[in-house]
Structure 1
Amino acid sequence: MDSIWPLLLFAAISTATPGSATVMAVASGARFGFVPSLPLVAGLALGIGVMAAAAAGGLGAVLLLLPSAQVALRLAGTAYLLWLAWRIARSGAPRHGGAAAPGGLLLGLLFTCQNPKAWAVTLGAAASFSGLAGSPAGLALLLGCTFAGFALLALSAWCAAGGVMGRRLRTERHWAVANGLLGALLAASVVPIWWS
């Protein structure tokens, strides 16, 4: 059995570095606050855990064998991320008492599961760390729990940072700049999807 430390380091870095999920966590934390955003953060973390488990359990091999499925996933993910980036960029300042609730667990789960960048990370982990478990089911459990746990910690930190940022935004102009920047960052997260 190989050492688990490289997996832990890979999961920590890949879940903490900026990407579409971190932008979602920051945007929700800024707009709604930390505690109301926790269901979304939990869904985002659960999504990457489910994807890691699915990749280790064999779904990754199926995706690698079907180039058309990969292209369809990239197109759907790109369209959704760009639509969401546009919505964030144009959202304006939150209205007291009139702001919609943040997305919940299901939205976070679905958001992550359609993200081709997250699939690339989890597929790479399944291929790279397959020697850590004696069976696909064992590897699926190990990768799913590892990625979900690290993602929950990292995305909670990003969400808390968004909450701090949101408390410092005082005017419509501040919110317009912040939302524009977050929308642009989310749109930029599409580039790695098509880079390979």
Structure 2
Amino acid sequence: MQTLDGLALFVLAATMSPGGATALATASGMNFGYRRSLPLILGISLGLAVMAAAAAAGIEGIFVAVPVIQTAVKIAGTLYLLWLALQLSRTGAPKTTGSAASPASIAGGAWLVLYNPKGWAMTTGAAASFSSIADGPVATAVLLGFVFGCFASFSLSVWCLGGQLLRRVLTRDWEWRALNIALALLLVASILPIWTQS
């Protein structure tokens, strides 16, 4: 029987690994600070929790049964990530006053993760590997949703605080632009697995 410790280690590794969500959390920490980035962190964490619960309940099978739904979600998600990357690449040093930019919302954070095949792969992998840890699919769904939500909040907070620390180091506008372009390119690179993973 799988253990809670094993589940915790799996989810920690999965949520700490670099990807689109962690790049956005880092960029948000750099540009807006931790407190103003909390809606993004909360949205991604809630989205991942819902995804994990749905995977444990077997909903991921809908994507297998109706491939057109999966394709539509991939297209929408790709367009959303490209739009985010474009916005990020145009960003320089944060302005203390008069800035029109604003951090992502809870809904924006949730949307980011719900279309992502990497998220589905890690949550369905966890559901398959740790299904015996709870009594029945409902209990497994609740447990996985809770664990993924909590660990995602922690992991994204670490990445966001790292971005906030970078804010103290970067002093010139060109440095900000270069780092934001690099993070935007990471977002674009995170699109490739969406189309190469089944």
TM-score, length of structure 2 as denominator length: 0.93
How do 1:58-73 and structure 2 match up within 5 A?
58-73=58-73
AA matched with 1:168? V
- Counterpart contact for 1:77–1:116, Cα < 8 Å: no
Return the offset for 1:144: 0.2
- Counterpart contact for 1:73–1:116, Cα < 8 Å: no
Structural RMSD (CA): 1.4
Q: Which residue of 2 aligns with 1:6?
A: 6
Q: Which residue of 2 aligns with 1:31?
A: 31
How do 1:167-186 and structure 2 match up within 5 A?
167-186=168-187
Q: Which residue of 2 aligns with 1:89?
A: 89
Return the offset for 1:94: 1.8
- Counterpart contact for 1:25–1:41, Cα < 8 Å: yes
Greater mean alpha carbon deviation, residues 57-66 or residues 146-155: 57-66
AA matched with 2:151? F
Could you say what secondary structure the match of 1:91 adopts?
Answer: coil
Q: Which residue of 1 aligns with 2:109?
A: 108
Return the offset for 1:91: 1.7
Could you say what secondary structure the match of 1:145 adopts?
Answer: helix
Segments of 5+ residues of structure 2 without an aligned counterpart are none
AA matched with 1:28? S
* C-alpha distance in 2 between matches for 1:192 and 1:17: 14
Return the offset for 1:127: 2.1
Could you say what secondary structure the match of 1:59 adopts?
Answer: coil
Aligned residues: 196
Q: Which residue of 1 aligns with 2:192?
A: 191
Return the offset for 1:6: 2.3
Deviations for 1:54-73, whole angstroms, at most 9, x for unmatched residues? 11122112222222222222
Deviations for 1:35-68, whole angstroms, at most 9, x for unmatched residues? 1111211111111111101111221122222222
Deviations for 1:79-109, whole angstroms, at most 9, x for unmatched residues? 2112211211112222221233312222212
* C-alpha distance in 1 between matches for 2:102 and 2:83: 19
Q: Which residue of 2 aligns with 1:135?
A: 136
Q: Which residue of 2 aligns with 1:53?
A: 53
Percent of aligned positions that are identical: 45
* C-alpha distance in 1 between matches for 2:162 and 2:39: 16
Segments of 5+ residues of structure 1 without an aligned counterpart are none
Q: Which residue of 1 aligns with 2:166?
A: 165
AA matched with 1:166? R
* C-alpha distance in 2 between matches for 1:102 and 1:23: 14
Return the offset for 1:168: 1.6
Cα gap change, 1:104 to 1:83, in 2 (>3 Å): closer
Return the offset for 1:177: 0.4
Greater mean alpha carbon deviation, residues 24-33 or residues 53-62: 53-62
Greater mean alpha carbon deviation, residues 114-123 or residues 175-184: 114-123
* C-alpha distance in 1 between matches for 2:166 and 2:145: 31
Q: Which residue of 1 aligns with 2:123?
A: 122
